[in-house]
């Protein structure tokens, strides 16, 4: 089925596209038909920079299990690192800290 | 007997909604005709190589065919999957713009020197709903709805696209409608198809529905796991018979 359901969030970071790294400003998450993964439906995550055009997009298509395992892995990794180390507001890092 | 079967397939620019110049993919038999025309409305994943194959298939079957790139404006020149993501982020294609683009494609078909003046539409997935819409709103002679969701039924909560149910337009249909559906589909569900059939019956419209067991959504999509050859082969035969009746000279 085409769920059409789409979550969009603002993000900060970088990703590597066809022409090298670029800043990421938005992520879009949706459950729908994949373009490539051999399943009828997947959890699709697009990392985007809409200001740089439609091609500034890093898509991934994951099974439900893979997506949930990824969430878990992100949480576990952050839990073992010092709190706030990768925060946009961390001392000595990022534009927000410098402001 | 030798049958002359040359085709010309190419990207063209047509005038769509609001007079905008938009990209389209056309395929047509190189013969004198007169021939009917088909506007192919692509699925939500976009104006991709599989949709272009469908356009060429119609030409090989003896129709002038064209598929407007519905994402021409927000993502000109982008890869189909990137364009589809941009369109999704923007909430999809507004119905009024879709109608203008399909009308422009129909005008382009009717202006061909070998045209017989008759034009049909066919749409897949989100395009199925849009094909139904064209049947109610445009001067066309046939429409095919391939598993279009939200003609009837209620969109899930939080639905972000500019799409609303249009079953109430059944009474306004201006041409025969062919509907092809998978019984394992959830959008549209068999109940939503029943509801649509009820509305068409009530309005006394010329329609023909076929529903396939062991098939869900997108059973025509040859590059996806949802492909079901049995349903797709029968579906193609139904489409060609339907257009033979409604569009051929």
Q: Where are the domains of chain B?
A: 7-246
pLDDT digits (tens, 9 = 90+) for B117-162: 999 999 999 999 999 999 999 999 999 999 998 888 776 666 656 6
CA B86 to chain centre: 21
pLDDT digits (tens, 9 = 90+) for B97-109: 999 999 999 999 9
Q: Which element (helix H / strand E) includes B234?
A: helix B229-246
CB B24 within 8 A of CB B11: yes
CA distance readout (Å), B241 to B140, B208, B245: 17, 11, 6
Which residues of chain B, if any, have pLDDT below 50? 1
Q: Helix, strand, coil shares of chain A as percentages rounded to 5?
A: 25, 40, 35
Q: How far apart are CA A6 and CA B157, in angstroms?
A: 11
- The pTM of the full predicted model, rounded to 2 decimals, is 0.90
CB A43 within 8 A of CB A62: yes
Pick A1's closest partner by Cβ from B158, B187, B225. Answer: B187
- Tell whether ipTM is more than 0.85: no
Pick A38's closest partner by Cβ from B158, B187, B225. Answer: B225
Q: Which CATH number is B7-246's, of 3.40.220.10, 1.10.10.10, 3.30.540.10, 3.40.50.1820?
A: 3.40.50.1820
Kindly report the nearest CA distance between residue B89 and chain A, in angstroms.
8
Q: Which residue has the tokens 């949709």?
A: B51
CA dihedral B198, B201, B206, B207 (to 10 degrees): 20
Contact yes or no for B82 and A39 at CB 8 A: no
Look at residues B249, B193, B194, B241 and name the one whose alpha carbon lies nearest to residue B217.
Answer: B193
């Amino acid at each position: 089925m085409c769920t059409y359901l789409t979550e969009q969030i603002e993000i900060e970071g970088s990703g590597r596209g066809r022409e090298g790294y670029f800043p990421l400003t938005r992520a879009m998450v949706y459950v729908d038909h994949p373009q490539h993964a051999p399943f009828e439906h997947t959890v699709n995550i697009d990392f985007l920079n809409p200001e740089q055009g439609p091609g500034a997009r890093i898509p991934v298509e994951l099974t439900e299990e893979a997506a949930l395992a990824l969430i878990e892995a992100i949480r576990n990794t952050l839990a073992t690192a010092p709190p706030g180390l990768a925060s946009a507001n961390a001392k000595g890092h990022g534009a927000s800290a410098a402001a | 007997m030798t049958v002359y079967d040359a085709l010309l397939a190419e990207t063209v620019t047509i005038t769509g909604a609001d007079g905008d110049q938009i990209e389209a993919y056309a395929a047509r038999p190189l013969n004198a005709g007169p021939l009917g025309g088909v506007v192919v409305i692509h699925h939500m994943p976009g104006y991709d190589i599989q949709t272009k194959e469908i356009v060429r298939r119609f030409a090989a079957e003896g129709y002038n065919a064209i598929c407007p790139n519905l994402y021409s404006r927000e993502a000109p020149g982008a890869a189909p999957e990137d364009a589809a993501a941009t369109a999704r982020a923007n909430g999809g294609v507004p119905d009024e713009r879709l109608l203008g683009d399909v009308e422009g494609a129909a005008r382009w078909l009717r202006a061909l020197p070998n045209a017989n003046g008759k034009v049909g539409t066919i749409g897949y997935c989100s395009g199925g709903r849009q094909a139904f819409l064209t049947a109610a709103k445009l001067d066309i002679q046939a429409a095919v709805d391939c598993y279009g969701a939200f003609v009837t039924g209620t969109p899930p909560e939080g639905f972000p696209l500019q799409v609303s149910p249009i079953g109430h337009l059944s009474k306004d249909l201006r041409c025969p409608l062919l509907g092809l559906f998978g019984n394992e589909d959830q959008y549209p569900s068999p109940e939503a198809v029943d509801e649509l059939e009820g509305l068409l019956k009530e309005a006394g419209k010329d329609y023909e529905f076929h529903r396939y067991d062991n098939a869900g959504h997108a059973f025509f999509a040859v590059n996806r796991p949802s492909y079901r050859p049995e349903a797709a082969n029968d579906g193609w035969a139904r489409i060609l018979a339907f257009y033979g009746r409604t569009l051929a000279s």
